[in-house]
């Protein structure tokens, strides 16, 4: 009888220790996180500046090509062919340079966003430990939470914490 009571006491004790679980809507968090919005705005501005420069270079090259066509009519066929090949090589080189610069800009943006995501994950882990959570799950599109009680939704709290830290 004493053993039965002791086992019942242990089972009761273990059942009282429930895991503290919360979840975050990843999409909502990232859509409203000010630092992410700032990074996006910065790269939109950089992309717009790059596009204007690329368009300007392309336009100048097209004018040069048109001028060459006019000039080529008064040249010998051999000389015109040689200069056309040089013009074509320069055009390819400029195109490759612009493509490389565009790829570098994209890589820079992806690297900064990856760093931001890593930072957000660390902040969530720190918050979870400080608040005594056993698990904090990620929800949203493709997330692991298919349903969660609103009382366990930590999105607003984490978003507020991240935005406050970003302001500093």
Over residues 12-43, the pLDDT tens digits come to 444 456 889 999 999 999 999 999 999 999 99
Cα–Cα distance between 146 and 151 in angstroms, integer? 15
Closest CA to 48 of 113, 102, 111: 102
Please determine, for residue 72, whether its predicted confidence score (pLDDT) is greater than 80: yes
pLDDT tens for each residue of 109-165: 999 999 999 999 999 999 999 999 999 998 887 777 777 888 898 999 999 999 999
Q: What are the structural domain ranges in the chain?
A: 18-167
Q: Tell me which of 1.10.150.120, 3.30.910.20, 2.60.40.1170, 1.20.810.10 is the CATH number of domain 18-167.
A: 3.30.910.20
* Residue 10: pLDDT over 80: no
């Amino acid at each position: 009888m004493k053993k039965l009571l002791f086992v019942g006491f242990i089972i009761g004790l273990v059942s009282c220790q429930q895991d503290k679980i919360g979840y975050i809507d990843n999409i909502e968090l990232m859509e409203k996180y000010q630092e992410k919005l700032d990074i996006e705005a910065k790269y939109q501005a950089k992309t717009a500046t790059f596009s204007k420069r690329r368009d300007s270079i392309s336009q100048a090259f097209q004018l040069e090509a048109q001028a060459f066509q006019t000039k080529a009519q008064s040249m010998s066929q051999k000389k015109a062919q040689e200069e056309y090949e040089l013009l074509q090589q320069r055009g390819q080189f400029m195109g490759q340079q612009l493509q490389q610069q565009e790829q570098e800009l994209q890589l820079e943006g992806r690297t900064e966003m990856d760093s931001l995501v890593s930072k957000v994950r660390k902040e969530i882990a720190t918050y979870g430990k400080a608040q005594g959570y056993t698990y904090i799950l990620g929800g949203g599109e493709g997330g692991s939470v298919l349903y969660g009680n609103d009382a366990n939704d930590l999105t607003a709290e984490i978003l507020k914490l991240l935005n406050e830290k970003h302001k500093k």
